[in-house]
Chains A and B, each alone.
Chain A
Amino acid sequence: MSIALKMVKKNWQLYMIILPSLIYLIIFKYVPMVGVQIAFKNYVVTKGIWGSDWIGFKHFVDFFHLPIFWRVIKNTALLSLYSLLVGFPAPIILALALNELKNGIFKRTVQLVTFAPYFISTVIMVSIIMLFLSPELGFVHILADKFGFPAENVMSKPAYFKTVYVLSDVWQFTGYASVIYIAALAGVDPHLYEAAKVDGATRFQRMRHIDWPSLRPTAVILLILNAGQIMNVGFEKVYLMQNAINVGASEVISTYVYKMGLVGANFSFSAAVGLFNSIVNLLLLIVVNYVARKNSETSLW
């Protein structure tokens, strides 16, 4: 292992640099991980994590045997994939478009305005959605009326649930998500554009051959990271948009567990569900990372 020692000595400064964050990682991320064992135990407060009894995979089995388990998994996965499909390219397109402009007021205004919706709380967001989609009072329907589409109550159609959810997410988060791409584009040497112009490239060609390759590594990494979040559909927005009619299409893992009242007292079960989600996410992450590694120069590891 003497080669190893040599490498360590050579890089000693880098190790020093990374040390504080490693310490943080161990204390606040790895030490608590010991507690994940409550997913395999019957946690009792007064016995603590170590004193509670082992029950193996019982929680997982219970989870899989829940009556609507498959439907809930399917809804969660579909919702995430749909979000990814539509929501992933959107910030890239926005960043590329903004990049064509000089740094004038219009550019800065668009950036600021598209960024702002990120701060709207979920509750308000959902009530705005419902307001705008209302068959009687809603903006969307007034427009649709003019074009001859009949007024429908969109919220009562299960088939539309995912679309409304995804499109409103795009509306709310694209500006925020585009920031990282805008920053990446800022790192491009302007001389490249000059050279390209001289060579006679149109704006579109410049975008294809300069901008996009500069964004690609970041985009690939973000895609991989997002793949690792597929099972984590957030609770609040889905819950607020759910109603008795669309529940078949809108019940996801987080809302179902919440309705079962298991968020609170039954920690072991929640831990088991969380662990299950994490494992699925990990598998997806590994697969997508592998594909990325084979097909591009960028990958997570």
Chain B
Amino acid sequence: MIHPEQSLSLEVRKRPSRIHENIVDRLYLCGVYLFLTVCLIIVAYPLIYIVSSSFSSSSAVISGKVWLLPVEPTLRGYKAVFQNPQIVTGYSNSLFYLFFGTLLSVILTITAAYPLSRKSFYGRNVITALFIFTMLFNGGLIPYYLTVKGMGMLDTRWAMIIPGAISVWQVILARTFFQTSIPSELTEAAHLDGCSDFKFLLRIVIPLSKPIIAVLVLMYAIGYWNSYFEALIFLKSAKLYPLQLILRNILILNSIDPTMVKDVKELADRQGLKELLKYSLIIVASAPVLILYPFVQQHFVKGLLIGSLKG
């Protein structure tokens, strides 16, 4: 780990007057606030547009009347989404896959990353290379499908959790975290005290790794929540479908090919709803994860390593 005190001491040790220091710092802080506020507005505005559109009437949406606040507020879009009986199934399935999938993924990722972060781990480079190789090359869709089929997982819940369990990207990130945040002195001290690798991992490393675990949980949770592709290729029964698949179906329901229409009234009625639905669907689909985020945020708090060096 880097020892910033050392690098600082090599720098010019300015000891400006207290007033000067405060002004420079204050300006910098002001600049930061300004920058972040601008970011906030730039990002927030289109989001507000989306939320407002989802609550506006379809005619307001198609005529471009919506700019900031909902126009002719209505819950029609949401009704159309929630009326669909498959929605409840979709939500519960997605929650299931999210929970168990994330659990499995985080465990597998940490158990892969930790040994790879230890310099003394024999064969470390080879195994790392094996992991990285899979990020670049894969056998293609058909062999993947056939493998899952061969494991008997087709059309089961396992297919949504196991085949995609490890993201090598995350393994590398976790490994980097372990490499930079678990000081070697700590490891050595533990070994001297007779602590086994298992115990060290469980009792010391993991409690210290809250930030990276939080990141892993978040990233994997999002991945499982958004999963569409695995459901598409591996599932056949509607009762196993996750939310994303069902939501997409609803969207298509309302964008009908006009040549296929037999009752044009149906087409006409759906025309406006389709526009409205686009926005309601985003809200419905992303709400749970956006709610999860603040809980995870708590763990991005500084200072978790205090006491480890001293203890």
Contact = CB atoms under 8 A, between A and B. Distances in A.
A and B touch in the complex (CB under 8 A): yes
Given A11-B122, A14-B197, A271 B282 contact: no
B108 A180 contact: no
A112 B127 CA distance: 37
Interface residues of A, number: 102
Contacts, number: 288
A278 B136 contact: yes
B134 A7 contact: no
| Chain B interface main SS type | helix
A270 B305 CA distance: 49
Nearest to A112: B293
A45 to B, nearest CB: 9
Given A112-B293, A116-B286, A119-B286, A32 B35 contact: no
Contacts of B238: none
Nearest to B9: A199
A15 B134 contact: no
Contacts of B115: 11, 14-15, 17-18
B294 A108 contact: yes
Question: What does DSSP make chain A's interface, helix, strand, loop or mixed?
Answer: helix
B29 A49 contact: no
Nearest to A18: B115
B122 A4 contact: yes
B261 interface: no
B229 interface: no
Interface string B134-163: 111111111110111001000000000011
Interface of B: 2, 4-5, 7-9, 11, 13-16, 21, 24-25, 28-29, 32-33, 35-36, 39-40, 42-44, 46-47, 49-50, 64, 107-109, 111-112, 114-116, 118, 120-123, 125, 127-132, 134-144, 146-148, 151, 162-163, 165-166, 169, 171-173, 176-177, 179-181, 196-198, 201, 211-212, 214-215, 218-219, 222, 226, 278-279, 281-282, 285-286, 289-290, 293-294, 297, 299-306
